[in-house]
Structure 1
Amino acid sequence: MRQFNQTLLPGLLLSLGVACLSKIIAIWLPSLGAGTIAILLGILLGNIFFNHPIWQKGTKFSEKTLLELSIVLLGTTITFQTIAQIGGSGVIFIMLQMTITILAAYFIGKKLKFSQTMSLMMAGGNAVCGSSAIGAIAPEIGAKDKEKGQIITLVNLLGTVMMLTLPLVGGAFFSESVMAKSALIGGTLQSVGQVIASANMVSPDVVEMATLFKILRIMFLVVVVFVFGKVAQQNNDTAETNTQVANKKKKFPLPWYIIGFIVCCVLNSVIHFPTLLSQTTHSISGWFEITALAAIGLRINAREFLKEGPRFLAYAGSVGLIQTIVAISLIKLLSI
Structure 2
Amino acid sequence: MPIDTQHLIPATARRGGTDAFKKYIPGLLLCAAATALAITVNAALPAASPLIIAIVLGIVLTNVVRLPAAAGPGITFASKKLLRLGIVFLGLQLVLSDIVSLGVPLLVVIVCIVAGGIFGTILMGRLLKMSPAQVLLIACGFSICGAAAVAGVEGVTDSEEEDVVTAVALVVIFGTLMIFGLPLVASMLGLSPEISGMWAGGSIHEIAQVVAAGGVIGGGALTVAVVVKLARVLMLAPVAAVLSVRQRRSGRVEEGQKRPPIIPLFILGFLAMVLLRSFVDLPGAVIQAGSFTQTALLSAAMFGLGCGVKIRSLMRIGARPFILATASTVLVAGIALAGILLVQP
Specify the alignment match of 1:307 in structure 2: 316
Verify: 1:93 aligned to 2:109, yes or no: yes
- 1 CA distance for matches of 2:330 and 2:71? 33
Deviation at 1:306, TM superposition (A): 0.8
- 1 CA distance for matches of 2:343 and 2:142? 22
Deviates more, 1:260-269 or 1:82-91: 82-91
Verify: 1:270 aligned to 2:279, yes or no: yes
Aligned with residue 67 of structure 1, among 71, 80, 83: 83
SS in 2 for 1:165: helix
- 1 CA distance for matches of 2:73 and 2:55? 18
Specify the alignment match of 1:170 in structure 2: 182
Specify the alignment match of 1:30 in structure 2: 46
Q: What amino acid maps onto 2:178 in structure 1?
A: L
Q: What amino acid maps onto 2:209 in structure 1?
A: S
Verify: 1:84 aligned to 2:95, yes or no: no
Tell which structure's C-alpha radius of gyration is larger: 2
Specify the alignment match of 2:168 in structure 1: 156
Q: What amino acid maps onto 1:215 in structure 2?
A: L
Verify: 1:54 aligned to 2:63, yes or no: no
Q: What amino acid maps onto 1:325 in structure 2?
A: G
Verify: 1:136 aligned to 2:156, yes or no: yes
Specify the alignment match of 2:32 in structure 1: 16
Deviation at 1:315, TM superposition (A): 3.9
Specify the alignment match of 2:218 in structure 1: none
Q: What amino acid maps onto 1:166 in structure 2?
A: M
Note if contact 1:35-1:201 (Cα within 8 Å) is conserved in structure 2.
no
Aligned with residue 220 of structure 1, among 239, 243, 248: 239
Deviation at 1:83, TM superposition (A): 3.1
Specify the alignment match of 1:238 in structure 2: none
Distance 1:169 1:275, change over 3 A: same
- 2 CA distance for matches of 1:274 and 1:263? 17
Note if contact 2:199-2:333 (Cα within 8 Å) is conserved in structure 1.
no
Q: How does 1:146-295 map to 2 (within 5 A)?
A: 151-152=163-164, 154-174=166-186, 176-177=193-194, 178-185=197-204, 189=205, 195-199=206-210, 201-202=212-213, 210-223=229-242, 251-295=260-304
Specify the alignment match of 1:3 in structure 2: 19
- 2 CA distance for matches of 1:120 and 1:34? 27
1:89-137 CA-partner distances (Å, limit 9, x unpaired): 3432232223323443333334334577776676566555335425424
Deviation at 1:243, TM superposition (A): 6.9
Higher normalized helix content (fraction of residues): 1
Note if contact 2:80-2:151 (Cα within 8 Å) is conserved in structure 1.
no
- 2 CA distance for matches of 1:311 and 1:74? 32
Deviation at 1:17, TM superposition (A): 0.8
Note if contact 1:38-1:290 (Cα within 8 Å) is conserved in structure 2.
yes
Deviates more, 1:169-178 or 1:121-130: 121-130
- 1 CA distance for matches of 2:97 and 2:312? 44
Specify the alignment match of 2:8 in structure 1: none
Report percent identity of matched pairs.
21
- 2 CA distance for matches of 1:200 and 1:294? 20
Distance 1:11 1:79, change over 3 A: same
| Structure 2 residue runs without a partner (length 5+) | 1-16, 188-192, 216-221
- 2 CA distance for matches of 1:90 and 1:199? 18
Deviates more, 1:288-297 or 1:110-119: 110-119
| Structure 1 residue runs without a partner (length 5+) | 139-144, 190-194, 234-241
Distance 1:173 1:57, change over 3 A: farther
- 2 CA distance for matches of 1:312 and 1:131? 18
- 1 CA distance for matches of 2:120 and 2:315? 25
Number of residue pairs matched? 309
- 1 CA distance for matches of 2:240 and 2:66? 35
